[in-house]
């Protein structure tokens, strides 16, 4: 089973929000905390789940943004 961001946060002794801020390069994280989280990420080989990231962005991985032009064609 893949490791989760929550598990990374627990190993680093930080909240899930802080671990997320580190991964997303948020500026308001102390350098020693940032390094601790990245060290654990490297050690365990953590990779964000693409489906979870897509859900967070409100899209499925293969879904294209809605352009408002309709999605079906009746050109039989």
Separation CA 62–CA 76 (nearest Å): 26
| Two structure tokens written together for 13 | 């002794």
pLDDT at 36 (0 to 100): 97
pLDDT at 54 (0 to 100): 80
| CB of 66 closer than 8 Å to CB of 60 | no
Q: What is the pTM of this model?
A: 0.68
Which residue in 56, 50, 24, 55 sits closest to 37, CA to CA?
A: 24
pLDDT at 70 (0 to 100): 57
Where along the chain do its domains lie?
Answer: 5-56
CATH number belonging to domain 5-56: 1.10.260.40
pLDDT at 23 (0 to 100): 93
Q: From first to last of its 76 residues, what are the pLDDT tens digits of the chain?
A: 789 999 999 999 999 999 999 999 999 999 999 999 999 999 999 988 888 778 877 765 565 556 666 555 555 5
């Amino acid at each position: 089973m893949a490791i989760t961001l929550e598990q990374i946060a627990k190993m680093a002794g930080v909240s899930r929000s802080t671990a997320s801020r580190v991964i997303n390069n948020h500026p308001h994280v102390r350098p020693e905390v940032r390094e601790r989280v990245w060290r654990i990420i490297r050690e365990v080989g953590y990779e964000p789940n693409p489906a979870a990231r897509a859900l967070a962005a409100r899209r499925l991985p293969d879904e294209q943004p809605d352009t408002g032009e309709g999605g079906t064609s009746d050109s039989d």
